[in-house]
């Protein structure tokens, strides 16, 4: 595709790109207020090693402890059941679906899938899937589909599951789902008009909302002790630890808790790479079982895509451009090409310091240049609800700022990310990154393979700051805003076709949207937080309202009434799939 090669767009060649946008929406939902579910949950808690161990805790250890993840700073009883608020239903799904009906562009989602659990009916004794009481199944036909967990799990012996991480690890198995899908928790709501360009486009790929100021450690976390107080940090650190084994031990940016964009083929690819981790996660009925070693698939997919695009670019340049005769060895003339390129970049960096106009900005047309106009030109509306700030087609977006390439990347994670193109710079140290033989003219050839233990592996992954810097330099010294400088020269070759296919598959941007995350603790706090949110209703594209109320029936009921009143005021129009006259008194 000429778009990727040189960033030129010929609509006569590409055809109608809008037709490539086929996207579904997936919810995971459970009505934890239903008696049958609570009976079933209590039964499996009694069998769970996690809850068995909690019962064995001495009273002196059942003291309040600080919660991990969202809600950090609040004290919780380590011996208590902390899962109740995760399952309590306050009609969030009804209003989240209303927000989608109100704000998602017409036809944006082909279908809405709701993943649900099954319970044993007290009257018939048969299993039945949970159904939101407000949902009109007749109206929903063809647009909203309820999918029981048994239809997506590789191993039904792991059901029922009360663990969202387990369910998320299997949701890409939904029968008939589109290749590209957005995933929402039922406590996330659209609050402004959004369109396909806020999630995925054929020109710029996935839109990931990554927070560069929040970094996840690459090291395997300490096994969780006997506690049901399990936030998201532990699973994120574990997920990053397996990414780090594959792509290098770097701190990676947190993926925002708003709608996530995912891909069925890429999820299948990831599962084939880490089958044990997927199976283990899916086997945990409750979050925190197995000492908390569970994957978080939205974080995993986003960073897998980022790493695979980076790897594709580096490997293609290394194998097909630097190794000109593709004999698997770099002779002196080939090595000189890299040496001269690095010297040219370094010289212009020196000039840049004394020039009123930066060399970087003059010679680097970003792949994102005029992105709004480009998207509109293929007939996709631009909503202004998201800003594209960085793209993997320019370079890896989270390279370290002024990292020291004379030293190992280890222990340099405290350096901030250089997220501004104008501020990016690096000093590529050939001897450290590639070894002293690389610059030794007397050495006839050095190995150009890309496998385990190779020079390329060290450059690209072990000392990832070397790979980031080289990728940065190749992009900056080539005037084209496309990927031409990385691609095999023979456009008719199988290698060219394969690299182009991978560049398109792993294409992505880092997007920024205004979002608000609110936790509800008690009546007074909930009233104040929701009043404030209503006053600023025009400020946010997405809002997340998290039920974090402890199990005091009076407080729960008060917060529920405050929440439902806010929701009816904020999203008053029923979705097309609701039962007639569904008011705030209808229970889920």
Kindly report, residue by residue over 178-188, the tens digit of the pLDDT. Answer: 999 999 999 99
Give me the chain's average pLDDT, please: 90
Residue 222, exposed/middle/buried by CB under 10 A (0-12, 13-18, 19+)?
A: exposed
Question: Which one of 295, 324, 348 terminates a domain?
Answer: 295
Asked if residues 34 and 129 have their Cβ atoms less than 8 Å apart, the reply is no
25 vs 57, more confident: 25
Examine residue 452 and state whether it is found in any structural domain, yes or no.
yes
Do 36 and 182 fall within a single domain?
Answer: yes
Give pLDDT, residue 72: 43
pTM of the predicted structure, to 2 decimals: 0.93
Q: Which of 82, 83, 87 is nearest to 65 (CA)?
A: 82
Asked if residues 284 and 165 have their Cβ atoms less than 8 Å apart, the reply is yes
Examine residue 547 and state whether it is found in any structural domain, yes or no.
no
User: Which neighbouring-strand residues pair with 262?
Assistant: 181
Do 345 and 421 fall within a single domain?
Answer: yes
Number of independent structural domains in the chain:
2
Sorted by sequence, the CB contacts under 8 Å of residue 437 that are 6+ apart come out as 443, 446
Report phi then psi at 205, rounded to 5: 75, -150
409 vs 82, more confident: 409
What are the residue ranges of helices labelled H in 274-370?
275-283, 297-316, 332-354, 359-363
Residue 472, exposed/middle/buried by CB under 10 A (0-12, 13-18, 19+)?
A: buried
Do 326 and 182 fall within a single domain?
Answer: no
Q: Which residue has the tokens 């945990």?
A: 284
Alpha-carbon separation of residue 376 from 195, 219, 367, 530 (angstroms) = 12, 43, 16, 36
Do 223 and 272 fall within a single domain?
Answer: yes
Examine residue 153 and state whether it is found in any structural domain, yes or no.
yes
Asked if residues 98 and 574 have their Cβ atoms less than 8 Å apart, the reply is yes
pLDDT in tens, 386-396: 999 999 999 99
Asked if residues 417 and 253 have their Cβ atoms less than 8 Å apart, the reply is yes
Do 240 and 315 fall within a single domain?
Answer: no
Give pLDDT, residue 122: 85
Report phi then psi at 419, rounded to 5: -90, -5
Question: Which one of 461, 488, 511 terminates a domain?
Answer: 511
The yes-or-no verdict on residue 193 having pLDDT over 90 is yes
Alpha-carbon separation of residue 501 from 5, 273, 393 (angstroms) = 11, 19, 14
Give pLDDT, residue 123: 84
Do 225 and 311 fall within a single domain?
Answer: no
Give pLDDT, residue 89: 84
Do 128 and 249 fall within a single domain?
Answer: yes
Alpha-carbon separation of residue 231 from 52, 155, 163, 349, 514 (angstroms) = 20, 25, 12, 45, 23
What are the residue ranges of helices labelled H in 355-492?
359-363, 371-377, 430-434, 455-457, 464-477
Residue 72, exposed/middle/buried by CB under 10 A (0-12, 13-18, 19+)?
A: exposed
d(CA 201, CA 185): 22
Examine residue 540 and state whether it is found in any structural domain, yes or no.
no
d(CA 459, CA 450): 10
352 vs 372, more confident: 372
CB-facing half-sphere around the CA of 183: CA atoms within 13 A: 30
What is the three-class DSSP state of 478? coil
- Residue percentage of the chain with pLDDT more than 90: 75
Do 238 and 354 fall within a single domain?
Answer: no
- Can you read off the two tokens belonging to residue 478? 């080539």
Give pLDDT, residue 67: 42
Examine residue 59 and state whether it is found in any structural domain, yes or no.
yes
Do 428 and 457 fall within a single domain?
Answer: yes
Q: How confident is the model at residue 66 (pLDDT cuts 50, 70, 90)?
A: very low
What is the three-class DSSP state of 20? helix
Q: Which of 286, 196, 210, 294 is nearest to 252 (CA)?
A: 210
Asked if residues 534 and 501 have their Cβ atoms less than 8 Å apart, the reply is no
Examine residue 216 and state whether it is found in any structural domain, yes or no.
yes
Domain carrying residue 273: 21-295
Do 263 and 367 fall within a single domain?
Answer: no
Do 251 and 354 fall within a single domain?
Answer: no
The yes-or-no verdict on residue 416 having pLDDT over 90 is no
d(CA 560, CA 261): 30
User: Which neighbouring-strand residues pair with 317?
Assistant: none
Question: Which one of 274, 295, 316 terminates a domain?
Answer: 295
Examine residue 266 and state whether it is found in any structural domain, yes or no.
yes
Examine residue 518 and state whether it is found in any structural domain, yes or no.
no
Task: Kindly compute the dihedral angle of the four CA atoms of residues 399, 401, 407, 410, in this order, to the nearest 10 degrees.
Answer: -60
Asked if residues 449 and 408 have their Cβ atoms less than 8 Å apart, the reply is no
Q: What would the mean pLDDT of 110-139 be, rounded to a whole number? A: 94
DSSP assignment, residue 477? H
Q: What would the mean pLDDT of 190-201 be, rounded to a whole number? A: 98
d(CA 393, CA 510): 11
Taking the CA atoms of 420, 425, 429 and 434 in sequence, report the sign of the dihedral they define.
Answer: positive
d(CA 458, CA 248): 9
Report phi then psi at 469, rounded to 5: -65, -45
Helix (H) or strand (E) holding 331: strand 329-331
Cα-trace Rg, the chain: 26
d(CA 166, CA 154): 11
Helix (H) or strand (E) holding 24: strand 23-28
Give pLDDT, residue 85: 56
Give pLDDT, residue 58: 62
Give pLDDT, residue 11: 80
- Can you read off the two tokens belonging to residue 2? 């000429």
Q: What would the mean pLDDT of 38-55 be, rounded to a whole number? A: 89
The yes-or-no verdict on residue 64 having pLDDT over 90 is no
Q: Which residue has the tokens 């710079």?
A: 425
- Residue percentage of the chain with pLDDT more than 70: 90
Do 210 and 328 fall within a single domain?
Answer: no
Give pLDDT, residue 583: 46
pLDDT in tens, 321-363: 999 999 999 999 999 999 999 999 998 886 655 554 444 444 5
User: Each residue of 359-391: b (16+ CB within 10 Å) or e?
Assistant: bbeeebebbbeebeebbeebebeebebbebbbb
Report phi then psi at 236, rounded to 5: -65, -45
Sorted by sequence, the CB contacts under 8 Å of residue 87 that are 6+ apart come out as 30, 32, 33, 37, 41, 162
d(CA 127, CA 156): 14
d(CA 401, CA 418): 5
Report phi then psi at 350, rounded to 5: -65, -45
Q: How confident is the model at residue 228 (pLDDT cuts 50, 70, 90)?
A: low
Range scoring the smallest mean pLDDT among 66-70, 376-380, 420-424: 66-70
pLDDT in tens, 423-476: 678 999 999 999 999 999 999 999 999 999 999 999 999 999 999 999 999 998
């Amino acid at each position: 595709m000429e778009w990727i090669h040189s960033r030129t767009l010929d609509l006569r060649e590409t055809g109608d790109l809008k037709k490539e946008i086929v996207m579904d929406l997936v919810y995971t939902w459970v009505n934890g207020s239903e008696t049958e579910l609570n009976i079933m949950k209590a039964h499996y808690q009694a069998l769970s090693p996690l809850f068995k161990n909690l019962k064995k805790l001495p009273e002196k250890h059942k003291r309040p402890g600080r919660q991990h993840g969202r809600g950090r700073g609040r004290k919780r009883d380590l011996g208590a059941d902390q899962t109740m608020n995760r399952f309590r239903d306050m009609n969030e799904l009804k209003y989240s679906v209303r927000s989608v009906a109100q704000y998602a562009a017409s036809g944006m989602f082909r279908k809405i899938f709701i993943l649900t659990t099954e319970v044993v009916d007290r009257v018939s004794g048969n299993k039945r899937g949970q159904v939101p009481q407000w949902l009109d199944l007749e109206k929903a036909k063809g647009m909203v589909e309820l999918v029981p967990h048994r239809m997506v799990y590789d191993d039904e012996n792991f059901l029922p599951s009360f663990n969202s991480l387990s369910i998320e690890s299997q949701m890409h198995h939904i029968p008939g789902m589109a290749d590209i899908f957005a995933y929402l928790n039922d406590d996330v709501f659209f609050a402004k008009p959004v369109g396909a360009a806020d999630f995925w486009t054929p020109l710029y790929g996935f839109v990931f909302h990554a927070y560069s100021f929040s970094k996840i450690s690459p090291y395997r976390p300490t096994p969780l002790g006997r506690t049901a107080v399990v936030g998201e940090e532990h699973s994120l650190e574990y997920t990053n630890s397996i990414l780090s084994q594959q792509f290098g031990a770097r701190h990676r940016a947190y993926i925002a808790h708003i709608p996530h964009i995912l891909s069925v083929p890429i999820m299948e690819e990831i599962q084939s790479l880490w089958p044990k981790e997927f199976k283990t996660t899916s086997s945990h009925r409750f979050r925190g079982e197995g000492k908390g070693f569970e994957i978080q698939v939205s974080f995993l997919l986003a960073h897998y895509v980022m790493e695979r695009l980076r790897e594709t670019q580096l490997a293609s340049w290394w194998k097909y451009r630097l190794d000109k005769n593709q004999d698997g060895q770099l002779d002196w003339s080939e090595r000189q090409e890299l040496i001269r390129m690095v010297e040219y970049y370094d010289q212009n960096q020196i000039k840049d310091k004394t020039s009123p106009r930066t060399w970087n900005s003059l010679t680097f047309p970003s792949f994102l240049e005029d992105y709004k106009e480009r998207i509109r030109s293929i007939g996709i509306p631009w909503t202004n609800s998201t800003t594209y700030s960085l793209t993997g087609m320019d370079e890896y977006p989270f390279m370290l700022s002024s990292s020291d390439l004379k030293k190992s990347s280890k222990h340099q994670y405290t350096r901030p990310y250089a997220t501004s193109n104008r501020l990016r710079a690096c000093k590529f140290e050939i001897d450290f990154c590639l070894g002293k033989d690389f610059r030794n003219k007397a050495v006839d050839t050095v190995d150009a393979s890309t496998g385990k233990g190779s020079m390329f592996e060290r450059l690209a992954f072990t000392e990832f700051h070397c790979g980031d810097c080289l990728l940065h330099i190749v992009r900056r010294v080539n005037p084209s805003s496309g990927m031409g400088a990385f691609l095999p020269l023979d456009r008719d070759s199988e290698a060219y076709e394969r690299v182009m296919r991978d560049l398109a598959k792993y294409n992505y941007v880092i997007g920024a949207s205004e979002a608000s995350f609110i936790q509800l603790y008690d009546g007074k706090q909930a009233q104040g937080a929701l009043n404030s949110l209503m006053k600023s209703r025009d400020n946010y594209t997405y809002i997340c309202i998290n039920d974090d109320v402890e199990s005091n029936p009076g407080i729960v009921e008060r917060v529920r009434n405050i929440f439902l009143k806010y929701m009816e005021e904020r999203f008053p129009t029923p979705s097309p799939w609701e039962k007639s006259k569904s008011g705030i008194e209808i229970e889920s």
